[in-house]
Amino acid sequence: MALLSASKVSLAFAGVRALVDIDLQIEKGELLGIIGPNGSGKSTLFNVLSGIYRVDQGTIEFRGRRTERLGIAQIVRSGIARTFQNKRLFGTMSVLDNVVVAALKGAQGSVLGDVLGLRSSAKARMKAKDTANRCLALTGLAESTYLLARDLPYGAQNRLELARALALEPTLLLLDEPAAGLNPSERTALQELIRRIHGEGVTIALVEHDVRMVTGLCARAIVLDHGEKIADGASAMVVRDPRVQAAYFGEVESGEEAHAT
Protein backbone atom coordinates (compact mmCIF):
# COMPACT_ATOMS: atom_id res chain seq x y z
CA MET A 1 0.00 0.00 0.00
CA ALA A 2 1.16 3.50 -0.78
CA LEU A 3 2.60 5.60 2.04
CA LEU A 4 0.27 8.44 1.12
CA SER A 5 -2.72 8.22 -1.06
CA ALA A 6 -4.96 11.11 -2.03
CA SER A 7 -8.11 10.41 -3.93
CA LYS A 8 -10.37 12.82 -5.79
CA VAL A 9 -9.08 15.79 -3.82
CA SER A 10 -10.73 19.05 -4.85
CA LEU A 11 -10.47 22.56 -3.47
CA ALA A 12 -11.83 25.86 -4.71
CA PHE A 13 -11.28 29.42 -3.48
CA ALA A 14 -14.29 31.66 -4.06
CA GLY A 15 -15.28 29.61 -7.07
CA VAL A 16 -11.78 29.42 -8.53
CA ARG A 17 -10.77 25.79 -8.84
CA ALA A 18 -7.39 25.37 -7.21
CA LEU A 19 -7.30 21.57 -7.18
CA VAL A 20 -9.53 19.35 -9.31
CA ASP A 21 -10.03 15.65 -8.57
CA ILE A 22 -6.39 15.01 -7.74
CA ASP A 23 -5.44 11.38 -7.35
CA LEU A 24 -1.95 10.87 -5.99
CA GLN A 25 -0.01 7.96 -4.59
CA ILE A 26 3.35 8.41 -2.93
CA GLU A 27 5.22 5.18 -2.30
CA LYS A 28 7.46 4.64 0.68
CA GLY A 29 11.07 5.57 -0.06
CA GLU A 30 10.21 7.53 -3.17
CA LEU A 31 11.58 10.90 -4.26
CA LEU A 32 8.67 12.39 -6.18
CA GLY A 33 8.88 15.56 -8.24
CA ILE A 34 5.88 17.87 -8.59
CA ILE A 35 6.15 20.35 -11.41
CA GLY A 36 3.84 22.76 -13.17
CA PRO A 37 3.59 26.40 -14.16
CA ASN A 38 3.01 29.19 -11.64
CA GLY A 39 -0.46 29.00 -10.17
CA SER A 40 -0.94 25.39 -11.22
CA GLY A 41 -1.71 24.25 -7.67
CA LYS A 42 1.63 22.83 -6.51
CA SER A 43 1.81 24.77 -3.26
CA THR A 44 -1.93 24.36 -2.75
CA LEU A 45 -1.46 20.61 -2.93
CA PHE A 46 1.20 20.83 -0.20
CA ASN A 47 -1.05 23.04 1.90
CA VAL A 48 -3.78 20.43 1.65
CA LEU A 49 -1.46 17.54 2.50
CA SER A 50 -0.10 19.41 5.53
CA GLY A 51 -3.54 20.40 6.81
CA ILE A 52 -3.26 24.16 6.24
CA TYR A 53 -6.19 24.04 3.82
CA ARG A 54 -9.19 21.78 4.27
CA VAL A 55 -10.25 19.87 1.16
CA ASP A 56 -13.70 20.51 -0.25
CA GLN A 57 -13.92 16.94 -1.44
CA GLY A 58 -11.83 13.82 -1.50
CA THR A 59 -9.82 11.82 0.99
CA ILE A 60 -6.19 11.69 2.05
CA GLU A 61 -4.72 8.63 3.72
CA PHE A 62 -1.27 8.61 5.27
CA ARG A 63 0.12 5.37 6.69
CA GLY A 64 -3.38 3.94 6.58
CA ARG A 65 -4.92 6.79 8.55
CA ARG A 66 -7.30 9.43 7.20
CA THR A 67 -5.72 12.86 7.64
CA GLU A 68 -7.87 15.30 5.66
CA ARG A 69 -9.73 16.49 8.76
CA LEU A 70 -6.78 16.58 11.17
CA GLY A 71 -5.18 19.78 12.47
CA ILE A 72 -1.79 20.95 11.23
CA ALA A 73 0.13 19.90 14.34
CA GLN A 74 -1.55 16.47 14.38
CA ILE A 75 -0.55 15.82 10.78
CA VAL A 76 3.02 16.82 11.57
CA ARG A 77 3.09 14.39 14.48
CA SER A 78 1.76 11.64 12.23
CA GLY A 79 4.97 12.03 10.22
CA ILE A 80 4.59 14.68 7.50
CA ALA A 81 6.96 17.65 7.70
CA ARG A 82 7.31 20.49 5.24
CA THR A 83 9.28 23.55 4.28
CA PHE A 84 7.79 26.77 2.98
CA GLN A 85 8.54 28.46 -0.31
CA ASN A 86 8.63 31.90 1.33
CA LYS A 87 10.80 31.16 4.36
CA ARG A 88 8.87 31.03 7.63
CA LEU A 89 11.55 30.94 10.30
CA PHE A 90 11.29 32.06 13.91
CA GLY A 91 13.26 35.23 13.27
CA THR A 92 13.82 36.40 16.84
CA MET A 93 15.03 32.99 17.99
CA SER A 94 18.50 31.49 17.67
CA VAL A 95 19.25 29.04 14.89
CA LEU A 96 19.50 26.27 17.48
CA ASP A 97 16.18 27.15 19.13
CA ASN A 98 14.47 27.17 15.73
CA VAL A 99 15.42 23.53 15.31
CA VAL A 100 14.98 22.54 18.97
CA VAL A 101 11.33 23.64 18.83
CA ALA A 102 10.81 21.21 15.97
CA ALA A 103 12.79 18.42 17.63
CA LEU A 104 10.48 18.64 20.66
CA LYS A 105 7.62 17.72 18.32
CA GLY A 106 5.13 19.69 20.36
CA ALA A 107 5.65 17.53 23.44
CA GLN A 108 4.25 19.61 26.24
CA GLY A 109 5.55 17.42 28.99
CA SER A 110 4.23 19.40 31.83
CA VAL A 111 5.04 23.06 32.28
CA LEU A 112 5.38 22.24 35.95
CA GLY A 113 7.94 19.53 35.19
CA ASP A 114 10.06 22.03 33.29
CA VAL A 115 9.66 24.73 35.95
CA LEU A 116 10.64 22.35 38.73
CA GLY A 117 13.48 20.99 36.60
CA LEU A 118 12.36 17.36 36.79
CA ARG A 119 14.77 14.83 35.39
CA SER A 120 12.33 13.57 32.72
CA SER A 121 11.95 17.14 31.43
CA ALA A 122 15.67 17.72 31.29
CA LYS A 123 16.11 14.41 29.48
CA ALA A 124 13.50 15.22 26.82
CA ARG A 125 15.12 18.58 26.22
CA MET A 126 18.63 17.19 26.00
CA LYS A 127 17.39 14.65 23.47
CA ALA A 128 15.76 17.41 21.41
CA LYS A 129 18.96 19.42 21.54
CA ASP A 130 20.98 16.43 20.31
CA THR A 131 18.56 15.89 17.43
CA ALA A 132 18.72 19.59 16.60
CA ASN A 133 22.51 19.63 16.59
CA ARG A 134 22.58 16.60 14.31
CA CYS A 135 20.21 18.30 11.85
CA LEU A 136 22.25 21.50 11.95
CA ALA A 137 25.43 19.57 11.25
CA LEU A 138 23.77 17.77 8.33
CA THR A 139 22.67 21.05 6.76
CA GLY A 140 26.00 22.77 7.36
CA LEU A 141 24.74 25.16 10.01
CA ALA A 142 26.74 23.88 12.97
CA GLU A 143 28.79 27.09 13.00
CA SER A 144 25.74 29.36 13.15
CA THR A 145 24.00 27.77 16.14
CA TYR A 146 23.78 30.92 18.26
CA LEU A 147 22.99 33.47 15.57
CA LEU A 148 19.46 34.79 15.32
CA ALA A 149 17.59 33.15 12.45
CA ARG A 150 16.80 36.51 10.88
CA ASP A 151 20.49 37.42 10.76
CA LEU A 152 21.38 34.43 8.56
CA PRO A 153 22.17 34.97 4.87
CA TYR A 154 19.44 33.83 2.50
CA GLY A 155 21.00 30.54 1.47
CA ALA A 156 21.54 29.58 5.10
CA GLN A 157 17.92 30.45 5.97
CA ASN A 158 16.94 28.01 3.28
CA ARG A 159 18.97 25.28 4.91
CA LEU A 160 17.60 26.19 8.32
CA GLU A 161 14.07 25.56 7.02
CA LEU A 162 15.27 22.17 5.91
CA ALA A 163 17.02 21.45 9.23
CA ARG A 164 13.88 22.38 11.12
CA ALA A 165 11.74 20.04 9.03
CA LEU A 166 14.29 17.23 9.46
CA ALA A 167 14.27 17.66 13.24
CA LEU A 168 10.66 16.46 13.17
CA GLU A 169 12.08 13.13 11.96
CA PRO A 170 9.42 12.87 9.24
CA THR A 171 8.42 9.81 7.26
CA LEU A 172 7.37 12.08 4.43
CA LEU A 173 9.09 15.38 3.74
CA LEU A 174 7.43 18.00 1.55
CA LEU A 175 9.89 20.48 0.06
CA ASP A 176 8.29 23.55 -1.48
CA GLU A 177 10.70 25.09 -4.01
CA PRO A 178 13.75 24.73 -1.77
CA ALA A 179 16.06 25.93 -4.55
CA ALA A 180 14.24 29.21 -5.21
CA GLY A 181 16.58 32.17 -5.01
CA LEU A 182 19.75 30.09 -4.69
CA ASN A 183 22.83 30.60 -6.85
CA PRO A 184 24.08 27.68 -9.01
CA SER A 185 26.64 26.38 -6.51
CA GLU A 186 24.15 26.53 -3.65
CA ARG A 187 21.70 24.74 -5.90
CA THR A 188 24.12 21.90 -6.53
CA ALA A 189 24.88 21.62 -2.81
CA LEU A 190 21.15 21.50 -2.05
CA GLN A 191 20.65 18.74 -4.61
CA GLU A 192 23.36 16.74 -2.88
CA LEU A 193 21.73 17.35 0.47
CA ILE A 194 18.32 16.21 -0.76
CA ARG A 195 19.91 13.04 -2.14
CA ARG A 196 21.55 12.38 1.22
CA ILE A 197 18.33 12.86 3.15
CA HIS A 198 16.53 10.58 0.71
CA GLY A 199 19.35 8.08 1.11
CA GLU A 200 18.65 7.95 4.83
CA GLY A 201 15.21 6.55 4.08
CA VAL A 202 13.04 9.69 4.11
CA THR A 203 10.31 9.76 1.48
CA ILE A 204 10.35 13.14 -0.26
CA ALA A 205 7.95 15.09 -2.42
CA LEU A 206 9.64 18.02 -4.11
CA VAL A 207 7.81 20.94 -5.66
CA GLU A 208 10.16 22.60 -8.07
CA HIS A 209 9.88 25.03 -10.90
CA ASP A 210 13.18 23.97 -12.43
CA VAL A 211 12.47 20.94 -14.64
CA ARG A 212 16.14 19.99 -14.88
CA MET A 213 16.46 19.72 -11.12
CA VAL A 214 13.45 17.42 -11.02
CA THR A 215 14.65 15.17 -13.79
CA GLY A 216 18.05 15.08 -12.12
CA LEU A 217 16.74 14.11 -8.69
CA CYS A 218 13.44 12.35 -9.08
CA ALA A 219 12.68 9.04 -10.73
CA ARG A 220 8.99 9.88 -10.90
CA ALA A 221 7.22 13.16 -11.38
CA ILE A 222 3.69 14.46 -11.65
CA VAL A 223 2.65 17.58 -13.51
CA LEU A 224 -0.09 19.94 -12.40
CA ASP A 225 -1.79 22.50 -14.59
CA HIS A 226 -4.79 24.61 -13.66
CA GLY A 227 -5.24 22.46 -10.58
CA GLU A 228 -5.41 19.22 -12.54
CA LYS A 229 -2.91 16.41 -12.67
CA ILE A 230 -2.06 16.18 -16.36
CA ALA A 231 0.81 13.70 -16.20
CA ASP A 232 2.27 11.12 -13.81
CA GLY A 233 5.19 8.80 -14.53
CA ALA A 234 8.93 8.52 -15.05
CA SER A 235 10.20 12.08 -14.82
CA ALA A 236 12.27 11.91 -18.01
CA MET A 237 9.20 10.72 -19.93
CA VAL A 238 6.75 13.08 -18.27
CA VAL A 239 8.58 16.23 -19.29
CA ARG A 240 8.45 15.14 -22.94
CA ASP A 241 4.67 14.63 -22.87
CA PRO A 242 3.14 17.06 -25.40
CA ARG A 243 0.47 18.23 -22.93
CA VAL A 244 3.18 18.99 -20.40
CA GLN A 245 5.21 20.83 -23.00
CA ALA A 246 2.16 22.90 -23.90
CA ALA A 247 1.26 23.67 -20.30
CA TYR A 248 4.76 24.25 -19.11
CA PHE A 249 6.56 25.97 -21.89
CA GLY A 250 3.40 27.65 -23.10
CA GLU A 251 3.47 29.47 -19.80
CA VAL A 252 6.62 31.33 -20.75
CA GLU A 253 4.80 33.14 -23.51
CA SER A 254 1.47 33.56 -21.73
CA GLY A 255 2.42 33.89 -18.10
CA GLU A 256 -0.48 36.27 -17.55
CA GLU A 257 -2.96 33.61 -18.49
CA ALA A 258 -1.54 31.03 -16.12
CA HIS A 259 -1.68 33.58 -13.34
CA ALA A 260 -5.31 34.36 -13.95
CA THR A 261 -6.33 30.86 -12.94
Partner 1 sequence: MTTSTGLRRWWIGAAALAALLALPAFASQYIVHIANFILIYTLPVIGLGFLTGFAGRVSLAQGALFGVGAYTTALLTTKFGWTPIATFVPSVMMTVVLAVALGGAAVRLAGLYFVMATIGIQQIVWIVLMNWIDLTNGPQGVRSIPAIGFGNYRLETPQQFYFLALVAAGISYILAKRVIGSRLGLYLRALSDDQLAASSVAVEVGRAKVIALALSAAWAGAGGFLYAHYVRFVHPDMFGLDASVLYLVMSIFGGYRSIVGMIVATGLLESATEYLRPFGEFRMIAYGMILLLGMMFFPKGILTLVRRRASVPAAGKG
Q: Which residues bind partner 1 (CB under 8 A)?
A: 50, 52, 71-73, 76-77, 81-82, 84, 88-94, 96-98, 100-102, 104-109, 111, 114-117, 121-122, 124-126, 128-129, 132, 145-146, 148, 164, 167-168
Which CB sits closer to partner 1, 90 or 188? 90
Which CB sits closer to partner 1, 12 or 72? 72
CB within 8 Å of 49: residues ≥ 6 apart = 4, 6, 60, 75, 80, 82, 174, 205
Which CB sits closer to partner 1, 163 or 244? 163
Q: Are 98 and 90 in contact (CB under 8 A)?
A: yes
Minimal distance in Å, beta carbon 144 to partner 1? 12
Minimal distance in Å, beta carbon 148 to partner 1? 6
Minimal distance in Å, beta carbon 78 to partner 1? 10
Minimal distance in Å, beta carbon 167 to partner 1? 8
Which CB sits closer to partner 1, 131 or 235? 131
Which CB sits closer to partner 1, 52 or 180? 52
Which CB sits closer to partner 1, 54 or 243? 54
Minimal distance in Å, beta carbon 92 to partner 1? 6
Which CB sits closer to partner 1, 19 or 135? 135
Minimal distance in Å, beta carbon 67 to partner 1? 14
Measured between alpha carbons, how far is residue 61 from residues 6, 30, 52, 69 in Å? 6, 16, 16, 11
How many whole angstroms separate alpha carbon 89 and alpha carbon 168?
15
Minimal distance in Å, beta carbon 42 to partner 1? 17
